Chain A
C-alpha cells in the first residue's frame, strides 16, 4: 500500500479515555427485528426541517413510499418503513429528554414488506441537481446523531471529505458493525458524496480500537480499485487514536487536517466536510438501490441478555427493541445515545428515529448514580480535559452565580457539551447541566431583549405615527382654515365690487 498521506496526524487538546465497552455488542452480526404491530413515524426527524403529511388515515402504503413531503428547502421527506395501512395521524411522545409529543404517522404493517418502486437514477450519469434532490426526497439526514439534512450539507464545494467512522462514544458499535458488514456500500456512498461536493480526497477516519472495521474498509477500497486512481483522488482509510471526543466534527477535522474550525464558522469555509459512515451507507442505498431511508442500525446494549446491533425500522418502539434484547431485572432507566452525550428516555414508548444510534439499558451497577456534588476546588482537571480548550471551572462559577455576561466572555457558546469536564471532575459537579442552564437562560434573555427592542421600536413608531398624524391633521386644518380665510377674503373683496354693481 502506498505511504499514507496522513502519516502525520494532528492532535486535539484534552479528551478522555473512558472504558470503551464495545465488545459487549460488536461481536454479533447485525440482526433483523421482527415486524412490530405498529410503527410510529414522526414527521420531524431532522435537526433542521420537517415534513408535511401527504397521506390520510386508511391509505395503503408501500415500503419506502413517501408519506411526508419535505417541507421547505431544509426539510427532509419521511417514508413508510414497511408496507401497510395508515391507522392514525396523531401526537406521540418522542425520544427527547423532555418527552415532548410530536406529530407522527402510525402505520399498521401488512407483513408483506413490498417496496415502492421509485424511478431509478443512474448515479453515474444523472445530474448533480437530480442526485441532490433525490437525497432530499429519500429523507437522508446525518446518521451520527445530529440529523442535519444531508442534501444541504452536500451542496457545498469542498476539497476534503472526511468519512466519520470514529465512533468515539463508549458502548456504541453500530458504525463498527456497519463498516465490517457493508463496507462496499459505505464506500460507494462516500464516493457519491465526494463527487457531489467536488472533494479531491476522501479520508475514512476510524478509531484504532476497531481493527476489523479498518481492515474491512481497506479491503473494500482495494476491491473497488479506487486507490489505483490518481494519488490525490484516492480514498484513504486512516486509523485515528481512540480518544473521546475524537468523532466530534471539529475534533476529527483537526486531527485529520490540522485545521481548527473557529466558532461561528462552518467546516465548508475551510473546504472540509464530515459525513458519518451511516449517512454514506444511506446515500448508497438511496441513489444506487432506490431505497428511501426506512431503517437504521441501532446498538442495543448495557444491562441486557443479548446485546448487539439491530437493523431497526424507523418508528419501532424502544420498548420493543429492549424486549428483543432481554432487559435484565435491575435496569432502572434507559439511555438514548451514548453514555457521554445521550439522555435518559422519559418513556421507552418513544419510537426509534433517524438519529437513534444506541439504546442502553442502564443499571445502578453499570451506570452508578452521581455522588453528591462537592464544592469546586479549581483543580483544573476540567480545563485539561476540555477539547474546546475552555476553562470549564470558570464557566461553572459564572453560570452558578448567574453571571451570564462573564460566562459569555469565557466562550460558553463554544461548549459542545461533550461531557469530558464532568467526567473528570473530582467534586462530581454536573458541569454540563450548569452550562446548559446558562446557555438556555442566555438565549431566553437574548430573545427577551430582542422582543423588548421590537416592542420599543413599535411603540416609538406608533408615537411617531400619532405625532405625524396629529401634525398632518393640524396641517390639514391649517390649510383648510387658510383656504376658508382666503375664500372669505375673496368673498369680502368681491362684495365691495359687487356693491356698486
Chain B
C-alpha cells in the first residue's frame, strides 16, 4: 500500500449525496405545506424507478452494483427530477423522465462522473418537449387535497381546471403577450405573492436555505450560485431599469420557477458543471443569461434547464480555457 496512509474521516461520495438530499428537505417541506403532499408520492416513485434503473443498467454493463447503487447519486437525480416536474404529473411521466435521466443522460455516457449533461435537466427538457400539456399543469397553491393529487398521479381523469393554476412565470408571460404592463399583470392576477409566485415563494426560500446549508458544509462553493444569480438577476435588472413595464424585475425572476433550485442544486452539479473557479463562474453566468433569454423571448415559460444543457456542451472548452496557473507560474511575488 502506498501513501498517503491516512484519509479524511467521514468522507465519502455517500456523504456528499446525503448532504444534498438533506439540503432539499426545507424546500420539500414548504412544498408539502403550500402545494400538498402529492410531491411526496412523486418523490417516492422517482426514487424507486431510479434505483431499479440504476441497478438494472449496472448489471447490464457488468459493473459492481452495490457500491454505485448506495452512493446516493441516483436518489439525488430522482429527487431533482421529481421537484422539476409539476407535482401532479401521472406516474408514468415521472417514470419516463427518470429513465431518461438515469439511463439516457447518465449511463449511456458511462455512468457517474462521465455524463456531460445534467441528468435531471436532460430529463426535464425531454419531458417538456414530449408532453408540453401535462408539463404545464401545475397544482394551484392552497388546493392541497391529497386524495385528488394522488388520483391524478395514479392516472385518474384530468378534470383539472379547478386544481391547476398558472404559475407566476406563465401568468407573466401570458400578460406580456397581450401587451399588458408588468405592474398591471402583477396587480390583476392571483398567481403572484410578494415578489414571486404566490405560495411558491416559500418553496423557493426553502431551496435557498438548503443551498446555504450546502455552502456552509462546503459541499458546494459560492462560484456557481452567485454567478447564476448574477447572470439571471443582472440581465433582468438591465432591461427592467430601462423598461420596467415590459420586463419584470430581477427579484421576480429569481423568486420564480426553478431559479433557486437551479442556483443551488443544478448548476452546482460537480460532474456536469465546469470545475475551475473561473470556469464555474462563466458556466453559471451563462446558464443565468440563457434562462432569462428563454423566459423572455422563448416558447417555454422556464429556461433554466435549457440554459444548463447548452452550457453543459461548453464545459470542456470552458475548463480548458480557464486552467488556473500553477504554483510558481505567476509573476514572482516579493514582499
Query: B5 near A: Cβ within 8 Å?
Result: yes
What 18 new A-B contacts, CB under 8 Å, besides A261-B328, A422-B3?
Answer: A18-B8, A97-B2, A259-B332, A262-B329, A335-B5, A337-B3, A339-B4, A343-B3, A369-B1, A371-B12, A374-B12, A374-B13, A375-B68, A377-B113, A419-B3, A423-B6, A425-B11, A427-B13
| Residues B13-43 near A (CB distance < 8 A) | 13, 15-16
Chain B interface main SS type: loop
30 contacts across the A-B interface (CB closer than 8 A): A10-B335, A18-B8, A250-B328, A258-B333, A263-B329, A265-B328, A335-B5, A337-B3, A339-B6, A340-B6, A342-B5, A344-B2, A344-B5, A362-B5, A367-B6, A370-B1, A371-B12, A374-B13, A375-B113, A377-B16, A378-B270, A378-B275, A380-B270, A380-B275, A388-B326, A389-B324, A389-B327, A414-B328, A423-B7, A426-B16
Find chain A residues with CB under 8 A from B319 CB. 394
Query: B325 near A: Cβ within 8 Å?
Result: yes
Query: A229 near B: Cβ within 8 Å?
Result: no
Tell whether, in the assembled complex, residue B329 and residue A340 are in contact, meaning their CB atoms are under 8 Å apart: no
Q: How far is the CB of A346 from chain B (nearest CB, A)?
A: 11
Q: In the complex, what distance in Å separates the CA atom of A40 from the CA atom of B319?
A: 53
Find chain B residues with CB under 8 A from A333 CB. 1
Query: A432 near B: Cβ within 8 Å?
Result: yes
Q: In the complex, what distance in Å separates the CA atom of A374 from the CA atom of B13?
A: 8
Tell whether, in the assembled complex, residue A370 and residue B3 are in contact, meaning their CB atoms are under 8 Å apart: no
Tell whether, in the assembled complex, residue A389 and residue B326 are in contact, meaning their CB atoms are under 8 Å apart: yes
Q: In the complex, what distance in Å separates the CA atom of A170 from the CA atom of B73?
A: 34
Query: A179 near B: Cβ within 8 Å?
Result: no
Tell whether, in the assembled complex, residue B4 and residue A340 are in contact, meaning their CB atoms are under 8 Å apart: yes
Q: In the complex, what distance in Å separates the CA atom of A370 from the CA atom of B5?
A: 8
Tell whether, in the assembled complex, residue A18 and residue B6 are in contact, meaning their CB atoms are under 8 Å apart: yes
Tell whether, in the assembled complex, residue B326 and residue A411 are in contact, meaning their CB atoms are under 8 Å apart: yes
Tell whether, in the assembled complex, residue B328 and residue A260 are in contact, meaning their CB atoms are under 8 Å apart: yes
Query: A13 near B: Cβ within 8 Å?
Result: yes
B interface footprint on A297-341 (CB within 8 Å = 1, 0 otherwise): 000000000000000000000000000000000000101010111
Interface centre among B73, B276, B330, B332 (most CB of A within 10 A): B332
Tell whether, in the assembled complex, residue B3 and residue A341 are in contact, meaning their CB atoms are under 8 Å apart: yes
| Residues A372-431 near B (CB distance < 8 A) | 372, 374-380, 383, 387-391, 393-394, 410-411, 414, 417, 419, 422-428, 430
Query: B271 near A: Cβ within 8 Å?
Result: yes
Query: B114 near A: Cβ within 8 Å?
Result: yes
**B5 — nearest CB in chain A belongs to which residue?**
A339
Query: A8 near B: Cβ within 8 Å?
Result: yes
Tell whether, in the assembled complex, residue A432 and residue B2 are in contact, meaning their CB atoms are under 8 Å apart: yes
Find chain A residues with CB under 8 A from B221 CB. 380
Q: In the complex, what distance in Å separates the CA atom of A10 from the CA atom of B333?
A: 10
Find chain B residues with CB under 8 A from A341 CB. 3-4
Q: Give 6 nearest A-B pairs by CB, closest first.
A: A419-B4, A262-B328, A375-B113, A339-B5, A388-B327, A379-B270
Q: Which residues of B contact A (CB under 8 A)?
A: 1-8, 11-13, 15-16, 67-68, 71, 73, 111-114, 221, 270-271, 275-276, 319, 323-330, 332-335
Find chain B residues with CB under 8 A from A372 CB. 67
Q: In the complex, what distance in Å separates the CA atom of A341 from the CA atom of B15?
A: 26
Q: In the complex, what distance in Å separates the CA atom of A423 from the CA atom of B11?
A: 9
Contact of B335 among A13, A257, A426 (CB under 8 A): A257
Tell whether, in the assembled complex, residue A259 and residue B333 are in contact, meaning their CB atoms are under 8 Å apart: yes
Contact of A377 among B2, B7, B13, B323 (CB under 8 A): B13
Query: A153 near B: Cβ within 8 Å?
Result: no
Query: A433 near B: Cβ within 8 Å?
Result: yes
Tell whether, in the assembled complex, residue B67 and residue A339 are in contact, meaning their CB atoms are under 8 Å apart: no
**A393 — nearest CB in chain B belongs to which residue?**
B275
Find chain B residues with CB under 8 A from A343 CB. 2-3
Contact of B12 among A263, A367, A426 (CB under 8 A): A426
Tell whether, in the assembled complex, residue B335 and residue A8 are in contact, meaning their CB atoms are under 8 Å apart: yes
Q: In the complex, what distance in Å separates the CA atom of A13 from the CA atom of B326?
A: 10
Chain A, interface size category, equals 35 or more
Q: In the complex, what distance in Å separates the CA atom of A433 from the CA atom of B271?
A: 23
Find chain B residues with CB under 8 A from A342 CB. 3, 5
**A344 — nearest CB in chain B belongs to which residue?**
B1
**B73 — nearest CB in chain A belongs to which residue?**
A377
Q: In the complex, what distance in Å separates the CA atom of A8 from the CA atom of B11?
A: 34
Find chain B residues with CB under 8 A from A414 CB. 326-328
Q: In the complex, what distance in Å separates the CA atom of A414 from the CA atom of B67?
A: 33
Q: How far is the CB of B63 from chain A (nearest CB, A)?
A: 10
Q: In the complex, what distance in Å separates the CA atom of A23 from the CA atom of B75?
A: 43
Tell whether, in the assembled complex, residue B16 and residue A379 are in contact, meaning their CB atoms are under 8 Å apart: yes
Q: How far is the CB of B325 from chain A (nearest CB, A)?
A: 7
Q: In the complex, what distance in Å separates the CA atom of A425 from the CA atom of B4?
A: 11
Q: In the complex, what distance in Å separates the CA atom of A436 from the CA atom of B6?
A: 18
**B2 — nearest CB in chain A belongs to which residue?**
A433
Q: How far is the CB of A17 from chain B (nearest CB, A)?
A: 10
Q: In the complex, what distance in Å separates the CA atom of A426 from the CA atom of B73?
A: 13
Find chain A residues with CB under 8 A from B7 CB. 368, 370, 422-423, 425, 428
Interface centre among A263, A337, A369, A423 (most CB of B within 10 A): A423
Contact flag A436-B2 (CB < 8 Å), given A414-B326, A428-B7 = yes
Tell whether, in the assembled complex, residue A383 and residue B275 are in contact, meaning their CB atoms are under 8 Å apart: yes
Q: In the complex, what distance in Å separates the CA atom of A380 from the CA atom of B219?
A: 10
Q: How far is the CB of A439 from chain B (nearest CB, A)?
A: 13
Tell whether, in the assembled complex, residue B270 and residue A417 are in contact, meaning their CB atoms are under 8 Å apart: no
Contact of B67 among A170, A258, A374 (CB under 8 A): A374
Tell whether, in the assembled complex, residue B3 and residue A340 are in contact, meaning their CB atoms are under 8 Å apart: yes
Find chain B residues with CB under 8 A from A339 CB. 3-6
Q: In the complex, what distance in Å separates the CA atom of A374 from the CA atom of B12?
A: 9
Q: How far is the CB of B133 from chain A (nearest CB, A)?
A: 36
Contact of A424 among B2, B3, B11, B333 (CB under 8 A): B11
Tell whether, in the assembled complex, residue B114 and residue A375 are in contact, meaning their CB atoms are under 8 Å apart: yes
Q: How far is the CB of B201 from chain A (nearest CB, A)?
A: 31
Contact of B3 among A13, A254, A270, A417 (CB under 8 A): A417
B interface footprint on A185-226 (CB within 8 Å = 1, 0 otherwise): 000000000000000000000000000000000000000000
Interface centre among A344, A369, A379 (most CB of B within 10 A): A379
**A17 — nearest CB in chain B belongs to which residue?**
B8
Find chain B residues with CB under 8 A from A425 CB. 7, 11
Q: In the complex, what distance in Å separates the CA atom of A481 from the CA atom of B105?
A: 83
**B330 — nearest CB in chain A belongs to which residue?**
A260
Q: How far is the CB of B16 from chain A (nearest CB, A)?
A: 6
Tell whether, in the assembled complex, residue A376 and residue B6 are in contact, meaning their CB atoms are under 8 Å apart: no
Q: In the complex, what distance in Å separates the CA atom of A12 from the CA atom of B270?
A: 25
Find chain B residues with CB under 8 A from A250 CB. 327-328
Q: In the complex, what distance in Å separates the CA atom of A387 from the CA atom of B221?
A: 18
Find chain A residues with CB under 8 A from B333 CB. 10, 258-260
Q: In the complex, what distance in Å separates the CA atom of A317 from the CA atom of B21?
A: 53
B interface footprint on A1-44 (CB within 8 Å = 1, 0 otherwise): 00000001010110010100000000000000000000000000
